[in-house]
Amino acid sequence: MKKAFLGFGLAAALFLLAKPALANEGVFHLVGPSESGGSCFATSVYIDGSYKLLMTCRGLRMALDPVRNKYVVWANAGEKKARLGEIVNGKLSASLTDEFDSLFVTLEPDAYSSKPTGIVALTGNVEAIDFGKGVFDSSLQPTVTAVVTGVPVNGLVVDQPIAAPSASGRLTNVVVGVGKAILFGFILLLIVVGVMSFLARRKNL
């Protein structure tokens, strides 16, 4: 009986402490300061173990910098900055296996750089796909995007979009917090029952 209680407690602890995986199916609207001009729209779909990303851009100024004149797209995948490739003729097709939550575009002298070194020209966070009224996309928690103006990035002032926590995310955090509190109380109860059982045995001896 005690082993069953302990097994249940351990399973509950692993369930509550496990963090949900970040889903990356969604759309991106990449914008930047007026100096660069233009904007990009991208969509990401998870197929066969990787995220397939398509991007189209309008109004990008190719002569923005005489040396750094290549627009290179990167994905923020945790601490890693994954290079997706160069925007050619306003288009990009790429594939990524890592989970990511936002995209950004830098001006680079070399389209094959291993890490971003140039000025950040465009940025955009992942947003939920709109499947229409009454259809819920469970693959991505919806986010509310705020824009902080005048954020300096590598010497260039960028209007930086920042994702704010959604109501669903806050509710999930509350539920997880309550679950952890219940689990803690359950474990404490098991400890008390175990101690009382041990003392009762010693008294009987």
Domain enclosing residue 40, as ranges: 26-164
Q: Do 109 and 191 sit in the same domain of this protein? A: no
Find out whether 9 and 187 touch, Cβ atoms under 8 Å: yes
Q: At what angle do helices 2-17 and 167-204 cross, to 10 degrees?
A: 160
Beta bridge partners of 95: 52
Q: Do 51 and 88 sit in the same domain of this protein? A: yes
Q: Do 132 and 52 sit in the same domain of this protein? A: yes
pLDDT exceeds 80 at position 135: no
Least confident of 5-9, 100-104, 112-116, 125-129: 5-9
Residue burial 93-103, b: 16+ Cβ < 10 Å; e: rest? ebebeeebbbb
Q: Do 196 and 137 sit in the same domain of this protein? A: no
Q: Do 140 and 173 sit in the same domain of this protein? A: no
50-58 and 91-96 beta bridge pairing: antiparallel
Q: Do 106 and 133 sit in the same domain of this protein? A: yes
Count of beta carbons in the 10 Å neighbourhood of residue 133? 5
Chain segment 142-201, per-residue pLDDT in tens: 444 444 444 444 444 444 444 444 455 555 666 677 778 888 788 888 888 888 888 877
Least confident of 80-94, 114-128, 159-173, 187-201: 159-173
Q: Do 174 and 112 sit in the same domain of this protein? A: no
Query: How many domains are contained in the chain?
Result: 2
Q: Do 127 and 180 sit in the same domain of this protein? A: no
Tell me if the pTM is above 0.75. no
∠ CA 55-56-58, rounded to 5° = 145
Q: Do 189 and 121 sit in the same domain of this protein? A: no
Q: Report d(CA 118, CA 107) in Å as an integer.
A: 5
Q: Do 84 and 111 sit in the same domain of this protein? A: yes
Q: What is the dihedral of CA 21, 79, 27, 96, to 10 degrees?
A: -80
Q: Do 63 and 102 sit in the same domain of this protein? A: yes
Count of beta carbons in the 10 Å neighbourhood of residue 160? 20
Sheet containing 102-108: give its strands across. Answer: 80-86, 70-77, 102-108, 120-127, 26-30, 39-47, 50-58, 91-96
